[in-house]
Amino acid sequence: MSTRPYGRLRRQTNELFNPKTGGRIGHYIDWFIMSLIAANVAAVILETVDALGTAYADFFYWFELFSVVVFSIEYIARIWSAVDDSEYQGPITGRLKFASRPLLIIDLLAILPFYLTIGGVQGELRFLRALRLVRLFRLLKLARYSSAMQAFGAVIRQKKEKLVIAVFANGLLLVIASSVMYYIEHQHQPEAFSSIPAAFWWGVATLTTVGYGDVHPITPLGKFVGAIVAVLGIGLFALPASILASGFIEQAAAAGDDDGPTYCPHCGEKLE
Amino acid sequence: MSTRPYGRLRRQTNELFNPKTGGRIGHYIDWFIMSLIAANVAAVILETVDALGTAYADFFYWFELFSVVVFSIEYIARIWSAVDDSEYQGPITGRLKFASRPLLIIDLLAILPFYLTIGGVQGELRFLRALRLVRLFRLLKLARYSSAMQAFGAVIRQKKEKLVIAVFANGLLLVIASSVMYYIEHQHQPEAFSSIPAAFWWGVATLTTVGYGDVHPITPLGKFVGAIVAVLGIGLFALPASILASGFIEQAAAAGDDDGPTYCPHCGEKLE
Amino acid sequence: MSTRPYGRLRRQTNELFNPKTGGRIGHYIDWFIMSLIAANVAAVILETVDALGTAYADFFYWFELFSVVVFSIEYIARIWSAVDDSEYQGPITGRLKFASRPLLIIDLLAILPFYLTIGGVQGELRFLRALRLVRLFRLLKLARYSSAMQAFGAVIRQKKEKLVIAVFANGLLLVIASSVMYYIEHQHQPEAFSSIPAAFWWGVATLTTVGYGDVHPITPLGKFVGAIVAVLGIGLFALPASILASGFIEQAAAAGDDDGPTYCPHCGEKLE
Amino acid sequence: MSTRPYGRLRRQTNELFNPKTGGRIGHYIDWFIMSLIAANVAAVILETVDALGTAYADFFYWFELFSVVVFSIEYIARIWSAVDDSEYQGPITGRLKFASRPLLIIDLLAILPFYLTIGGVQGELRFLRALRLVRLFRLLKLARYSSAMQAFGAVIRQKKEKLVIAVFANGLLLVIASSVMYYIEHQHQPEAFSSIPAAFWWGVATLTTVGYGDVHPITPLGKFVGAIVAVLGIGLFALPASILASGFIEQAAAAGDDDGPTYCPHCGEKLE
């Protein structure tokens, strides 16, 4: 390990970004970046409210600039100091290997759109507006800090096979229900049920029990089939939720994580 | 312990309000206050029905007055007799300490609005109407008597970490879904999707599967994204319910509370 | 036990209606009465379809007459032969005691309306139409034959305490949500939110996620509160369903009823 | 076993269609047929989109022809080579026995409609359009390849008794709720609640919480009853979903299939 100022700074930077060696300052940096991400999302949301978007246009612009600068520094610092990690040695190859990790690619995607819009890419306005939406991807940067997201991902991976079964069965029901309904209702509602893909809109609204009411069968046969589909939908479309829930429960048991202290159901007091 | 009439009365009052020492009379007082709370809530609700509100205006007024008097006596009696509890000794400091307990603050909030409206606070009519709503807080007084509420609170505390995961994932999905839908539908439905916060209304209605139908995508792309969001919503938004349910089940097992006798699933008879 | 023809017939009748001693003929009688009940319900339903109700008015009348005669014979035979059961001895007192059992009262309610309409009770047409509805109570006669209904009743009895908790919490949420929404929306939608009881209609539609869409908040604050209520509704209103489900699962385990053979999840073959 | 070229080819064909002896080529054939089924379903769906249906009419026709030829060859090859299986010996009787297996009947139904339309059956246009829908049955051919479908069928068979209970209770609630609502709302909404079967449409939409909003009670009593029905619907109609979910969980445990490796809920890493 280098002991020159340059090398020491790089090593300290590397340690700062590692949860195990970051210490208090690393912890503060984490919280600062998480807060900045939350504030960025809030800004993207509030900017679309006309009254706010025009009145505080300057503020939103400078806040965006500030955020991009911070995220850029963070990105460069992570790449630069990566070589102090034994896994990523070699000034070029090590850093490239590090930069191609999913979390680092998300970091890049969070700042790249800004540079594209100012750096000569003179696209259409529509394209630029789409890039604004991409700023919401900064939310994904939270994945690094949030153990919750990782627990969620773990459950999905563990229950993958069962989820695939449930999703496949649901897809089958959706295709069959929508197709049958198309053949029944097409002649009576040529607009709402113009094609099978259009009938999918009714199928999803019914099977998920959202039921906006903009499309629904009007013939007696269509209502009869629709009723059966709605009943089947409850049984099938609730399955993925149940599977995910059972995954969370099993995982807690497996990890010996017994959800903290138990509380008495009668008085609400902690049980020893 | 004082043996003078004053002291004896205070001690007996203290015992009356303690479930362990209240005896039969304490039990009757509990039931009387619970019934009065229920009647108060019914009065608040029925008063808003025009036909009833005007015809029985006098009755509602006197009933309110009666209730406030009873609740005030209860509040004062509790505070006054608190010093007989070893935890709250000292005529002033002990009573202040007792008065700052959550249940006592609720008791105060249940009567305070009445005194504010008659005691010189000449606010706007709008403010006075809001105070009426506050009377519903009297429902929270039930928390003292209801072990059900406490069991519920215990489950929430025990499953806090998992609930936070679920709520966070749901919030993330809501933000992303609503933002994407805003960018897709804004140009075609500038009123319904006027901003991302406005799009949240669609997002919540869809993810919770309430689906009022006042706002829904009309473009093919919007419907496609909306269908995916609806399907994801089922999986994610049902998680908190599953987590709460598992909490209730686990707690019953932990407390050795085996739900009373088991009944035969075939004949409905009690199993020994 | 009497050996005279009268006594033997009465004893045989008593045995026929007892599942343990009824034998094959008792089994056929059970199936005949169950089918007649199902046919009765179908008749009540189909009679309301104008085209069928007028075209087959005679058929429906004679079928009703036939059904009442059969159910009357069944009722009288059960009461008459009850005294052969050691529990119900005494020609008058034993039979009265037997007649006051819930299942027998249902049997009586299933035929009484018919006798009221022909036996001199000259009520309004409205009253007579309501009596028709009562014929649906004949469905409840199925309770005697259906072990499924009894298993269901057993689960409800076993989980009573938890169900009460869930129903109470849901009721609390409904009252508070509807009241708050009334105060927010009353001025902007004086018809839809004319009173708190009227707001309950919105509250139930939202908390159950039915969401007809005939009533929904239109103010920003109302939408904000409505969104929160909808999210809470998912968590709370799904609880009773989860509790019932856990009851069914536990009961199956307790009764050693392991749901018949296990099937391989891969090939669908029975596992030994 | 025959060693002549004819016999050898037949035996090799039989082995190809058997997952245990098919080897790599059998695996490729399976994947080709599965892909063709998926493409067929996509074609049926996309053909109904006017713009695509007319522009690519020729393509859809030739693709249908190609598919039928492939599926016909597959069907004939399976029947022809069946006699090499010891279970289906005898050139005629063995093959007929094999052809009457459910999976083979599905195979036949997937190609039969095409031959009916070209082979002289000059039915109405309406009949021909219905035959198109039948092409969707080709999806059922997937049942042979999908272990997921079989696992699903196994769970349904295992939980049959409980599912019947739940479905029966739901049916009872639906009949009673719709009938009561018919008697309440018929006079005020003679079109929407024209008969009890028509009221079923409201009943299903409410009990499944789909709530399109095209039919809903408008009288105070109707709303009161409707609210109760909606609340009961949540409890009852979610039961089948819970029962299916518990079946999946139990089956995984019984088969010792512990869902692959466990992942840490905190870091998302695999646990040893």
B249/C254 CB distance under 8 A: no
Taking CA–CA distances from B52, the nearest residue in chain C reads C195
pLDDT reported for residue C3: 58
Range from A5-9, C95-99, D125-129, D156-160 that averages highest in pLDDT = C95-99
Taking CA–CA distances from B271, the nearest residue in chain C reads C255
Q: Are C199 and C178 in contact (CB under 8 A)?
A: yes
The residue-averaged pLDDT of D196-203 equals 93
For D230-266, b/e burial (b = at least 16 CB within 10 A) is bbbbbbbbbbbbbbbbbbbbbbbeebeeebeebbbbe
Task: Kindly list the distances between the CA atom of residue C38 and the CA atoms of A91, C35, C140, D172, D236, in Å, as whole numbers in the listed order.
Answer: 82, 5, 11, 11, 21
Backbone angles phi, psi at C262, to 5 degrees: -95, 140
User: How far, in Å, CA of C249 to CA of D162, rounded?
Assistant: 10
| Cα B233 to the center of its chain, rounded Å | 26
Q: Are B234 and A237 in contact (CB under 8 A)?
A: yes
Q: Which of B147, B230, B246 is nearest residue A210 as measured by Cβ atoms?
A: B230
Longest dimension (CA), chain D: 84
Task: Kindly list the distances between the CA atom of residue A90 and the CA atoms of A107, A184, B68, in Å, as whole numbers in the listed order.
Answer: 22, 66, 78
Identify residue D206 by its one-letter amino acid code: T
Q: Are C172 and B139 in contact (CB under 8 A)?
A: yes
Residue C167: CB partners within 8 Å, gap ≥ 6?
A: C240
Q: Does C55 touch chain D (CB under 8 A)?
A: no
Residue D212 clears pLDDT 70, i.e. is over it: yes
Q: Does D55 touch chain A (CB under 8 A)?
A: no
Q: Which chain B residues are within 8 Å of C205, Cβ to Cβ?
A: 210
B196/A45 CB distance under 8 A: yes
Q: Which of D227, D238, D242 is nearest residue C201 as measured by Cβ atoms?
A: D227
Q: Does D156 touch chain C (CB under 8 A)?
A: no
- Locate tokens 């869902």: which residue? D259
Question: What's the gap in Å between the CA of B153 and the closest CA on chain D?
Answer: 22
Residue D265 clears pLDDT 70, i.e. is over it: no
B263/C257 CB distance under 8 A: no
Return residues 196-215 of B near A (CB < 8 Å).
Answer: 196-197, 205-206, 209-213
Q: Which two tokens stand for residue D51?
A: 């713009």
Rg of chain C over CA atoms, in angstroms?
26
Residue A263: CB partners within 8 Å, gap ≥ 6?
A: A269, A270, A271, B154, B155, B157, B158, B251
D212/B213 CB distance under 8 A: yes
pLDDT reported for residue D124: 52
User: How far, in Å, CA of D22 to CA of C103, rounded?
Assistant: 62
Q: Are C40 and C135 in contact (CB under 8 A)?
A: yes
Q: Which two tokens stand for residue B41?
A: 């809530």
Identify residue B66 by its one-letter amino acid code: F
What residue ranges of chain B have pLDDT lower than 70? 1-3, 119-133, 143-151, 245, 248-272
Within 13 A of D103's CA, how many CA atoms are on the CB side? 14
C46/D197 CB distance under 8 A: yes
What residue ranges of chain C have pLDDT lower than 50? 1-2, 256-272
CATH topology of domain A158-254: Helix Hairpins (1.10.287)
User: How far, in Å, CA of A221 to CA of C12, rounded?
Assistant: 49
| Cα A100 to the center of its chain, rounded Å | 19
D161/C260 CB distance under 8 A: yes
Best mutation target, B152, B185, B239, to test chain A (most A CBs within 10 A) = B239
Continuous segment of H or E residues that includes residue B262: strand B262-263
Four-point Cα dihedral D84, D85, D89, D94, nearest 10: -110
Taking CA–CA distances from D152, the nearest residue in chain A reads A165
Q: What is the DSSP string of chain C?
A: ---SHHHHHHHHHHHHTSTTT-HHHHHHHHHHHHHHHHHHHHHHHHHTSHHHHHHTHHHHHHHHHHHHHHHHHHHHHHHHHGGGSGGG-STTHHHHHHHTSHHHHHHHHHHHHHHHHHTT----HHHHHHHHHHGGGGGGGGGGT-HHHHHHHHHHHHTHHHHHHHHHHHHHHHHHHHHHHHHHHTTT-TTTTSSHHHHHHHHHHHHTT---SSS---SHHHHHHHHHHHHHHHHHHTHHHHHHHHHHHHHHHHTT---SSEE-TTT-PEE-
Range from A261-265, D124-128, D138-142 that averages highest in pLDDT = D138-142
Q: Which two tokens stand for residue C223?
A: 């939408």
User: How far, in Å, CA of B182 to CA of A46, rounded?
Assistant: 12
Residues in chain D: 272
C213/A212 CB distance under 8 A: yes
Packing angle, helices B147-158 and C160-185, rounded to 10: 90
Q: Are D165 and B268 in contact (CB under 8 A)?
A: no
Task: Kindly list the distances between the CA atom of residue A86 and the CA atoms of A17, A90, A94, A97, in Å, as whole numbers in the listed order.
Answer: 15, 10, 9, 12
Task: Kindly list the distances between the CA atom of residue D58 and the CA atoms of A183, A248, D47, D134, in Å, as whole numbers in the listed order.
Answer: 22, 51, 11, 20
Residue C175: CB partners within 8 Å, gap ≥ 6?
A: B41, B45, B136, B139
pLDDT reported for residue A218: 94
Residue D112 clears pLDDT 60, i.e. is over it: yes
User: How far, in Å, CA of C203 to CA of C182, rounded?
Assistant: 10
pLDDT reported for residue A257: 45
User: How far, in Å, CA of B92 to CA of B99, rounded?
Assistant: 10
User: How far, in Å, CA of B191 to CA of B186, rounded?
Assistant: 8
Q: Which of D209, D212, D213 is nearest residue B209 as measured by Cβ atoms?
A: D209
Q: Which two tokens stand for residue A123?
A: 């696209």
Q: Are A213 and D213 in contact (CB under 8 A)?
A: yes
pLDDT reported for residue B15: 86
pLDDT reported for residue C271: 46
Taking CA–CA distances from A184, the nearest residue in chain D reads D130
User: How far, in Å, CA of A166 to CA of B214, rounded?
Assistant: 31
B162/A252 CB distance under 8 A: yes
C209/A212 CB distance under 8 A: no
Whether the CA torsion D72, D77, D79, D80 is positive or negative: it is: positive
- The mean-pLDDT minimum among A202-206, A227-231, D14-18, D147-151 falls in D147-151
User: How far, in Å, CA of C228 to CA of B200, rounded?
Assistant: 11
Question: What's the gap in Å between the CA of B175 and the closest CA on chain C?
Answer: 13
Q: Does D5 touch chain A (CB under 8 A)?
A: no
Identify residue C12 by its one-letter amino acid code: Q
Other C-beta atoms closer than 10 Å to the C-beta of A265 total 26
The residue-averaged pLDDT of D16-25 equals 80
Going by C-alpha positions, the residue among B69, B100, B78 that lies closest to residue B16 is B78
The domain limits of chain D are 5-145, 158-254
B213/D209 CB distance under 8 A: no
Question: What's the gap in Å between the CA of A51 and the closest CA on chain D?
Answer: 34
CATH topology of domain A5-145: Four Helix Bundle (Hemerythrin (Met), subunit A) (1.20.120)
User: How far, in Å, CA of D213 to CA of B210, rounded?
Assistant: 11
Per DSSP, what are the bridge partners of residue A271?
A262
Count CB pairs under 8 A between chains B and C: 150
Per DSSP, what are the bridge partners of residue D142?
none
Q: Which of A209, A250, A255 is nearest residue D264 as measured by Cβ atoms?
A: A255
Backbone angles phi, psi at C224, to 5 degrees: -65, -50
Task: Kindly list the distances between the CA atom of residue A1 and the CA atoms of A6, D200, D260, in Å, as whole numbers in the listed order.
Answer: 11, 78, 41
User: How far, in Å, CA of B172 to CA of B229, rounded?
Assistant: 12
Best mutation target, A50, A124, A212, to test chain B (most B CBs within 10 A) = A212
pLDDT in tens, chain A (272 residues): 445 788 888 888 888 887 777 778 888 888 898 889 889 889 888 988 888 888 998 998 899 899 999 999 999 999 998 888 888 888 889 899 999 988 888 888 888 888 877 765 555 555 556 666 677 777 777 766 666 566 677 778 888 877 887 888 888 889 989 999 998 999 899 999 999 999 999 999 999 989 999 999 999 999 999 999 998 888 778 777 777 767 766 666 665 444 444 444 444 444 44
Q: Are strands B270-271 and B262-263 parallel, antiparallel or unpaired?
A: antiparallel
Residue B140: CB partners within 8 Å, gap ≥ 6?
A: B106, B110
D265/A252 CB distance under 8 A: yes
User: How far, in Å, CA of A224 to CA of A209, rounded?
Assistant: 16
User: How far, in Å, CA of D194 to CA of D161, rounded?
Assistant: 35
Q: Which two tokens stand for residue C3?
A: 């050996």
